[in-house]
Amino acid sequence: MRSKSVLLAALLLMVTLAAPLARAAAKAPAADPADPNLWLEEVEGKKALEWVKARSAKDTAELEKVAEFKPIHARLLEIYNDRARIPAVSFAGDYLYNYWQDAEHVRGIWRRTSLDQYLAGNATWETVLDIDALAKADKENWVWKGADFLQPESRRCLVSLSRGGGDAVVVREFDAVDKKFVEGGFSLPEAKSQLGWKDQDTVWLGTDFGPGSLTDSGYPRLVKLWRRGTPMSAAETVYEGKQADVSASGFTIINPEGSYDVISRTPEFYRGQAWLRLGGRLVKIDIPDDASMGGIFKEQMLVTLRTDWTVGGRTYPAGALLVIGLDAFLGGSREFTELFTPSERVSLAGTSSTRNTLLLSTLDNVTSRMYRLTLKDGAWAREEIKLPGLGSGGPGATSEKDDTFFFSYNDFLTPASQYVVRDGQEPKLVQKMSAYFDATGMKVDQYEATSKDGTKIPYFIIMPKGYVANGANPTLLYGYGGFEISQRPGYSGTTGEAWVSRGGVYVLANIRGGGEFGPKWHQAAVREKHQTTFDDFIAIAEDLIARKVTSPAHLGIMGGSNGGLLVGATFTQRPELFNAVVCQVPLLDMKRFSHLLAGASWMAEYGNPDTSDWDFMQKWSPYHNLDKSKTYPKVFFMTSTRDDRVHPGHARKMVKRMTDMGKPVYYFENTEGGHGAAANLNQRAYMWSITYAYLWKMLR
Catalytic residues, by residue number, are 561, 675
User: Exposed/middle/buried for 148, CB within 10 Å: 0-12, 13-18, 19+?
Assistant: middle
Please answer whether residues 171 and 187 qualify as being in contact, where contact means their C-beta atoms are separated by less than 8 angstroms: yes
Distance CA 536, CA 525 (A): 10
* Contact residues for 258 (Cβ-Cβ < 8 A; gap 6+): 299
Quote the CA–CA distance of 331 and 160 in Å, as a whole number.
39
CA nearest neighbour of 648 among 587, 580, 577? 587
Residue 398 per-residue DSSP state:
E
Whole-angstrom distance, CA of residue 369 vs CA of residue 356:
20
CA–CA gap between residue 99 and residue 78 (Å, rounded): 19
**Of 417, 418, 564, nearest in space to 478 by CA:** 564
How far apart are alpha carbons 79 and 434 in whole angstroms? 10
Instruction: With H, G, I as helix, E, B as strand and everything else as coil, classify residue 291.
Output: coil
CA distance 35 to 12: 32
Contact 434, 445 (CB under 8 A): no
Cα 341 from chain centre = 25
Nearest Cα neighbor of 431 from 126, 122, 111, 91 is 122
Q: At what angle do helices 562-573 and 649-660 cross, to 10 degrees?
A: 20
Collapsing DSSP to helix, strand or coil, 318 comes out as: coil
State the Cα–Cα distance between residues 509 and 478, nearest whole angstrom. Answer: 6
Residues forming a β-bridge with 557: 477, 581
171, containing H or E segment: strand 169-175
Handedness of CA 487, 488, 494, 495 (dihedral sign): positive
HSE toward the beta carbon, residue 328, CA cutoff 13 A: 14
User: Is the bond preceding 415 in cis, omega lying within 30 degrees of 0?
Assistant: no
Q: Which amino acid is at 59?
A: D
Q: How many CB atoms lie within 10 A of CB 184?
A: 9
For residues 323 and 316, the answer to whether their CB atoms sit within 8 Å is: no
Residues across the chain: 700
Spatial neighbors of 443 by CB under 8 A, at least 6 apart, are 462, 463, 467
